[in-house]
Amino acid sequence: MDPEPEVAAGAPRLPRGVVLAYGAGASGWVLVDRVLLTWLFFFYVTTPSGAEQPLMLPLVFSLMMLAGRVIDAVADPVIARWSDNHRGRLGRRRPFLLVSAVPYVAVFVALFHPPVAERSPVNAIYLAVGLALYFTLFTAYVGPYLALLADLSATTADRVDLSTSKAVATLVGAAVALIVSGLLVEAYGLRAMVWILGAAALVLLLVPGRIRERRYSRAQPATMPLVAAVRATLSNRPFLIVLLGANALWFGFNIVSLNVPLYATSLLGLTEGAVAILMGALFGVCLVTFPLVNRLTKRVGLKRVMVASLVAFALIFPLIFRFPSPPFGLTPVVYGTLVMGLAGVPLAGFFIVPDAIIAAVADLELARSGQRREGMYFGVNGLTLKLNLGISTVVSGALLQFGGDPFGLQLTGPVSAVAVALGALVFLRYPESEVEAARAEVRPEAAG
């Protein structure tokens, strides 16, 4: 294959095919990751038909998963720096997508095929090594994939379109993982499901690798060493504002999303099947709101939509406190569905805006150091978000354990609301005009 031509100055808007191809990758990695998180624990710690005991004790599995998450967090800045500094005729990000996709899916499938068909230390070692490889390969794909959004897009409109495509694809991948996987398990068995969905995910993962990166990106490889790159990234004030605001949002949203099954069963008095109704309302409203958020963001800017999303979450989450006794004579299922449906509106902004904002603040790096290091910005963001997920999970558990039943569970709504309200206050300080002025200066092809 011949080297691709560099993009010319005055880059046009991205073709629709490129926008859709970019989104396909998100469906692929979300599908794989959701299937793994949904079914791997079930596979190892439940007793299969004909077996005397499960393959692994729950605590052992949890420790292996925690170790994998630590490796995942550490890998973020390392792979980000590697991607930023990569020199190759295919571009900076595309080689990582093409090289990591096949082994990523292969390790995913292999995790469901332990070497010993009974409880054994061999399986624990196998799982530990497998998860370490899995999370490293996950980061090797997802880190450059996210950075590619910034490399491909010269304008806010392109960034919003790419973020919207990714958001829609994320919902599709999650829906297939959470709904279709169960149907396939029932029809063909768990391992067959893993192979079928793994093959489908691989096709989707390879689609963004077909994007001719250098046709749309003028980015040159960075040269900054790892530690210096991390320090420089954290010295970018607008990025720190985005980092703190986004983490406040993730903190609150993760607490709520973790407890949806308990909201349905413990607070609303419904069955486990009602979880599908609540999640369907949340994601269904989110999906139909995507076009509105896409157009609104291009019209009023990223900051206003982000602040509005945070304020909306802060107003909606406290309604969870009333789940045991819905107001206005509403039935539990109607009230729960209404609250989750309302939350779907700001969720659309949550899915679209943060990645576009990170891509925007990364442009300031070009003015500060003369280098394009979008990968490191997404890498540092990924590292903090993964630590955040662990901390918010611990806080959620503490509320349930020490707050009493059902008061502790009710408190998850107001606590989450306080977190996202703080995030809104942080985002009010985001200097959007400064960021846009710097972008126009260092990326004149985006002007207009």
Quick one: which of 343, 384, 370, 139 has its CA closest to 242? 384
pLDDT of residue 101: 95
pLDDT of residue 435: 81
Write down the pLDDT at residue 403: 79
Token pair belonging to 418: 């306080």
The whole-angstrom separation of Cα 44 and Cα 65 is: 12
Q: Residue ranges of the domains in the chain? A: 1-221, 223-448
Tokens linked to 28:
């692929």
- Per-residue pLDDT at 220: 64
| Cis, bond preceding 318 (omega within 30 deg of 0) | no
1-221 and 223-448 in the same fold: yes
Which superfamily is assigned to 1-221 in CATH? Answer: MFS general substrate transporter like domains (1.20.1250.20)
Question: How high is the pLDDT of residue 7?
Answer: 42
CATH 3.40.1160.10 describes domain 223-448: no
Residue 382: which of 37, 140, 28, 134 has the closest Cα?
Answer: 140
What confidence tens digit (pLDDT) does each residue in 167-210 have?
A: 899 888 988 887 788 788 888 888 999 999 999 999 999 999 88
Angle between helices 407-427 and 302-316 (to 10 degrees): 160
pLDDT digits (tens, 9 = 90+) for 172-181: 898 888 778 8
pLDDT < 50 regions, the chain: 1-10, 446-448
Q: Is 121 exposed, middle or buried (0-12, 13-18, 19+ CB in 10 A)?
A: exposed
pTM reported for the whole predicted model: 0.73
User: Rounded distance, CA 178 to CA 183, Å?
Assistant: 10
